[in-house]
Structure 1
């Protein structure tokens, strides 16, 4: 992806409107893309798309390669003849601004079982050929994943190290017996992954056709209860029975006084290096099939990561350990070419992290909500010093801008008002305006800030496991957005995703209120 001057919106597909409990890749996703085009935006940024595990977090996935089956649209399945209108009508839920994962999973599991049976019974030769090609092209992760999911469901989603010991150890006979015993479940898992990627790639093609690039998100660590760790134990810091030894997190920071104890097993980097980081190369290859660019979450962990004993209660008592650094990115770049990567370089950033980021020319992140404590703060636009960065009002881990402003210390609130020459009554748009007029190549804003929403609409509270990832918008909320205001700021900041100057003569635009 060419990180040229543009702007865009951060919103996850689960936040789209739908009739099935959570957003999906159906018609409302296409309408969101239309909104981006109408407002001259060139970027859509999302959270990880993997199948979610504990707490429905996109950052706790059963696989680093698979797609979230619950993002599959029942409406698209109906259009393919795999579901009927009456079956959908019986399954609809009221639209809401809060996701209902439990009801969504129950409804979609039922619909997917019906659609899967019809797929195997009725699909034509052309579709069967695509299905076979999908399975072959993705066999390096897919075969392990579908068996893992079938076994996980058989064991009521208990972690794999609590399964039958022979299966947890992946003994040959146990694997063979499981493939026979769980044949139908395995077939279902193959199909739903095929369907996810069919729907996702169609949506990406639609976005790219409107000159909109999609930025994905790759968490540095993978979940312990995942097919990745189960199938590749030698790459992760677990014992012979699969129990974690050392886990991930970050020390105390802005988000948490006791740090964040993520609990993911750490990598055995020396083991990964033996085959030239093949597992990581394949992981990035998969991401570049799905997205135009990737935000690498917790980029600093590649330079040095916070190591915590698995039995620790908080992340406070850990230590920094050197990561693979440039060796990993040289290996990936040698195989895949120049990498369209955004480095999530927030938190405790050392000169070594900056050198690693700049060595590969990866743009970093500037978050305006972190900016207003001091005139020398590096997140203030006058201190950027480079255009090779991406400015945000906030991220998925932040409060909405209104929510942040209402809770911020008065010193920061006052400095923001001085800096923007405003009274703080339109704070979401003041930060949007600052980001849009900055030198940063790209400016990306959570949809909640375009909608001017308060803290009730926050997506995630870092360090907590409940009441996260729930926010959704309604059709009316998207339609009520002032598109002309967005087009206006795009025009005066030279961030149009296409040549829209025939529609907006800047010299005739009335100046914005300060």
Structure 2
């Protein structure tokens, strides 16, 4: 069944309080998706962001981002009063997230709500704590300890706390109980609002596509509480770190800095941590995208002290053993593999063996730096794939036309039969929808025809990423109607909704 969707992270939703949330704007966006015949809402990782504000570097692989908790919904629950937060400064620009403002103000407001909640917690709270005890206990304690140590990463804490000890955990929780309770309640608020938002989306024919980063941040509860699962030395420093080798896009490669996995230990446990992680996220989403899929076949390991990625080497990953084990435990799951970049025959075989749809990026078809770019021409897309105009790491369509190599742009214009710069984004969106791919995803920025100022992320750039936001009313009826028209023309309109519409027409 051919279907369409839109990529828009929750932070990018409109809101008067500095960042997109799971409040009314999220429900309005679902209505836009439904009205334009879309079947999917794709987002970036939803976990708490750490230094640098990237959703791909989080304090936890299970917890939800407190920034997404909506104040208005807390008012309806009787836990906040508007006057407690409407007077605060939330950002300098309405179309950008100012993470500094959020960090300084948002948790103070949320503390008021949690204090009120804890005076009379509802019946579901204890059930939440019990159902999620395998991760929420460690996460809340970890965040309370971070607060105690003025936000320092765990590897800079006093040795008493740096070396996680489950025997001491109960005493630690009692010592920092006020803050532990605060972070527990925030996760309850998040999950309650998330479930309501997702239920509304599903009821309106929209499924959620979520994102699983392959690596976790060094400064995370995952590494602190399970150091045995990562390649660390006796003092808990990484032996090697993650990244990508030099290529036509980056002379020094990309030094991500994440600790690498101790794969033999994961195998010994029957991949228990991976199974729990994937099971949890598939319960949160309808479809799961796994980032940097090729890292499961082989991964690039860079010496810990290096300042660039030049001296790394490729090491063997768990391969099909991981995914076969997970399928035996969880059954067949709806997973998208981010298989971008240089793909070896073994990576292609791993993708084929899993049966997961891979990704195709239309912008890459015209990039002369990529020797494999012919794979990205739409007529070459396999049916079992997800086609994108671009992802969060790409320039917008309009930005690409303005900044790409002149010969590449000329080729794109010829291929797309694009003559009017005002329609370049629609030319590319139309070509994407024509493709054989079962699924086509367009970024919200490209629907709006925005330039590079609306780009979500420039890889390896420090600062200024992840900040773009929609303005209220930007995704208007004109865009909705045009997207609906293309969705129907290229037979990507959900069949069940088409039958309902046809029945309505017959009764007129």
Shorter-chain TM range is: over 0.9
* 2:112 is aligned with 1:114: yes
What residue in structure 1 maps to residue 506 of structure 2? none
Residue aligned with 2:246, SS: coil
For the aligned residues, what is the CA RMSD? 1.8
Which residues of structure 1 form unaligned runs of 5+?
506-514
1:434-472 superposed Cα distances (whole Å, 9 cap, x missing partner): 111111000001100000000111110101221000000
Tell me if the contact between 1:304 and 1:323 (Cα under 8 Å) persists in the aligned partners. yes
* 2:138 is aligned with 1:141: no
Moved more, 130-139 or 437-446: 130-139
TM-score, length basis structure 2: 0.95
Tell me if the contact between 1:19 and 1:92 (Cα under 8 Å) persists in the aligned partners. no
**From 274, 279, 288, the counterpart of 2:273:** 279
Give the deviation of 1:481 after TM superposition: 4.8
- 1:241-320 equivalence runs, <5 A: 241-320=235-314
- 1:181-200 equivalence runs, <5 A: 181-200=175-194
TM-score, length basis structure 1: 0.94
What residue in structure 2 maps to residue 100 of structure 1? 98
- 1:390-469 equivalence runs, <5 A: 390-423=386-419, 425=421, 426-469=423-466
Tell me if the contact between 2:366 and 2:373 (Cα under 8 Å) persists in the aligned partners. no
Give the deviation of 1:341 after TM superposition: 0.8
Structure 1: distance between partners of 2:248 and 2:129: 44
**From 17, 20, 23, the counterpart of 1:23:** 20
1:386-407 superposed Cα distances (whole Å, 9 cap, x missing partner): 2000110100000101101111
Give the deviation of 1:131 after TM superposition: 1.1
Structure 1: distance between partners of 2:202 and 2:327: 24
Structure 2: distance between partners of 1:483 and 1:272: 46
Structure 2: distance between partners of 1:424 and 1:158: 52
Give the deviation of 1:412 after TM superposition: 1.4
Give the deviation of 1:253 after TM superposition: 3.2
Structure 2: distance between partners of 1:354 and 1:56: 32
Structure 2: distance between partners of 1:175 and 1:202: 33
Give the deviation of 1:107 after TM superposition: 2.4
What residue in structure 2 maps to residue 510 of structure 1? none
* 2:31 is aligned with 1:37: no
1:458-507 superposed Cα distances (whole Å, 9 cap, x missing partner): 110101221000000111312365221111101110011343377699xx
- 1:8-407 equivalence runs, <5 A: 8-91=5-88, 93=90, 96-123=94-121, 127-128=122-123, 130-171=124-165, 175-373=169-367, 377-384=374-381, 386-407=382-403
Structure 2: distance between partners of 1:504 and 1:475: 32
Count of residue correspondences: 497
CA separation of 1:376 and 1:219: change in aligned 2, threshold 3 A: closer
Structure 2: distance between partners of 1:298 and 1:503: 40
Give the deviation of 1:290 after TM superposition: 0.4
1:65-106 superposed Cα distances (whole Å, 9 cap, x missing partner): 111111101111001000013223333646711101121222
Structure 1: distance between partners of 2:55 and 2:86: 29
Structure 2: distance between partners of 1:152 and 1:369: 41
Structure 2: distance between partners of 1:84 and 1:337: 46
Structure 2: distance between partners of 1:208 and 1:361: 25
Tell me if the contact between 1:249 and 1:306 (Cα under 8 Å) persists in the aligned partners. yes
Tell me if the contact between 1:400 and 1:455 (Cα under 8 Å) persists in the aligned partners. yes
Structure 2: distance between partners of 1:393 and 1:252: 25
Residue aligned with 2:343, SS: coil
Structure 2: distance between partners of 1:31 and 1:199: 15
Residue aligned with 1:55, SS: coil
Residue aligned with 2:341, SS: coil
Structure 2: distance between partners of 1:111 and 1:91: 10
1:281-330 superposed Cα distances (whole Å, 9 cap, x missing partner): 00001101100111100000000000111101011111110100011001
Give the deviation of 1:139 after TM superposition: 0.9
